[in-house]
Amino acid sequence: MSRILGSGTLQTTGEDFQVRYLTQSDVNKALSLQLRIIRDLERNKHNDYIIYKDRSELEAIYNTNIPGSINPKRAIGAFVNGKLIAHTIVTKANPKDLPDTSYDIKENSAEVGSVLTDLEYRGNNLMYHLLDAAQKVAKDDMKCDNMSAVIVPENVASWKSFLDKKYKIVGLNKDPFDGASVYYAYKNISGDSKKSFFINNNDTASISASLNTTKEQKDLFSNGYIITSYDKVKKEFTFTKAKFANENAKTKGLEQSSLFVIKNKLASKNKV
């Protein structure tokens, strides 16, 4: 079974594409996509990297990549004329692998993995389409309330895409697997406001400051601020004081927020 999750038209070529679940018959296509990306990165001397999955790893995921199955992973991809041009994996998250933040994002959460896009097809917003499909899989198939993601801060195109898709960046910490600094992104997909962030934007106090260092950002995160948006013209983050709204909230009063505008030196014209 290979259910269609979305479709569209490539901006650069005018070709139609589809986003669907991947099956065993797509393993060779996924291997080929990884090798093309690695080759292109090496040829163009990019500093980016991908985490390569071998045949056995992909087969294990695709073997039960069926809507409604108990397998905690789902592989999805974008295809043009039968060619796999972008790929990601959605995983039922293990709470132990999720960050310690001020917010209860660990319950019933799905994590969207790295989106691999063929360099030839970048600039078509394929990541947006895969994030939409990943959310559909997490909500309708996995029955999850939340989405999460781990993003390398240097991957500007990636965190821009997540923010555009209404994720909030809720923390900056060390990846438990390789020790690299990573952002943790979160989005509530349940439709229940009690399970989502309450953000009070009524206050107009804001500052523009050069708070670019890891320490300064971590200080803001640890004090209850999250990144809610990014100004692509000014190249500035917006940090907003957030409060988790749920039935067990200790206080009923809504805390007035303070809003910080953070200049970000990492911004670039990366395409997604």
Q: Is 82 exposed, middle or buried (0-12, 13-18, 19+ CB in 10 A)?
A: exposed
Helix (H, G, I), strand (E, B) or coil at 259: strand
Alpha helices in 75-188 (DSSP H): 126-136, 156-164
pTM given for the model: 0.82
For tokens 């895409």, name the residue.
Answer: 161
* 235 Cβ neighbours under 8 A, 6+ residues apart: 263, 264, 265, 267
Q: Is 21 exposed, middle or buried (0-12, 13-18, 19+ CB in 10 A)?
A: buried
Superfamily of domain 4-263: Gcn5-related N-acetyltransferase (GNAT) (3.40.630.30)
Q: pLDDT per position in the chain (272 positions), as tens?
A: 468 999 999 999 999 999 999 988 999 999 999 999 888 877 766 656 677 888 998 888 887 666 556 568 899 999 999 999 999 999 987 666 555 554 455 567 899 998 999 989 999 999 999 999 999 999 998 888 889 898 988 888 899 999 999 998 888 887 766 677 888 898 989 877 666 654 444 443 333 434 456 777 778 777 777 888 888 887 778 888 776 544 343 333 333 344 555 555 444 444 44
